[in-house]
Amino acid sequence: MAARTKKVTVGIDADSHVPGWAAAELAPTTPVAPDPTSAAFFDIDNTMMQGASIYWFARGLASRKYFTTTDLARFAWRQLRFRLSAKENATDMSEAKEAALAFVASWKVSDVQRLAEEIFDELMEPRIWAGTRALAQQHLEAGTRVWLVSAAPVEIGRVIAARLGLTGAIGTVAEIVDGAYTGRLVGDLMHGPAKAEAVVGLAGAEGLDLAHCVAYSDSANDLPMLTAVGRAVAVNPDSVLLREARQRGWEVRDFRTGRKAVKIAVPSTAAAGIVAGAVTAGLAARRRRLSK
């Protein structure tokens, strides 16, 4: 692995120089009749995990007094509003990009890594869908590489991938200078078409044949990724994706207890960068209090 320069970005493999990738630091699994040209790509929020990973991360921060429960409630409401409206327009995306990860400006990467690991163990792991995890495990046992693909910060994806024994994660990338976050993004949010572009880029670098690959998601926002591979599976699908899956003859897996199960903070736009102003404002207020 090449040495890092003074200014680096999270989730970039120094050998490939492709942003948004973060290999889980695990020993490789023993392949069983593997297809070296295949891979499985899993969305995280409501596909691999119940609710949005960034919401649970925010909740973990709230429990550690990084911001208040009122901030958290406002954050959850905004994400739910995004889901109910099912709209992600240019203004929403612009606001998301500006707010994404701004709250961690000046935070040390090591601290965020530690918090993500702690919060995964406390709040995220119990919410991993057993059915989706079993699907991922089947791919691993067949010698197929398994990647998480999420609009959430790549650090969170990397922790989830490591904890679940997956190959790695593709996610939104934050800029780092001298081991601390600047609060700016590198590139765009890993959302919608950007996910498909990242998967295509990874396939080219890893020698994958997209026709041999499979993608899993709950959201119609991920149609670009789902249609970029040879096989698509709708997992806990929203109504738009369910309709699309039926029309295209895609496999549907639903691990919810009911067809109308409540889903927390699902939309990828809001989840992408701790977008809600509650999080950024709450943590900014905390920094102001500490500086007094």
Provide the annotated active-site residues.
Answer: 43, 45
In 3D, which of 120, 97, 117 has the Cα closest to residue 109?
Answer: 117
Three-state DSSP string of the chain: CCCCCCEEECCCCCCCCCCCEEECCCCCCCCCCCCCCCEEEECCECCCECCCHHHHHHHHHHHCCCCCHHHHHHHHHHHHHHHHHCCCCHHHHHHHHHHCCHHHCCCEHHHHHHHHHHHHHHHHHHHECHHHHHHHHHHHHCCCEEEEEEEEEHHHHHHHHHHHCCCEEEEECEEEECCEEEEEECCCCCCCHHHHHHHHHHHHHHCCCHHHCEEEECCHHHHHHHCCCCEEEEECCCHHHHHHHHHHCCEEECCCCCCCCCCCCCCHHHHHCCCCHHHHHHHHHHHHHHHC
Residue 65 phi/psi, 5° resolution? Answer: 70, 25
Token pair for 37: 């040209």
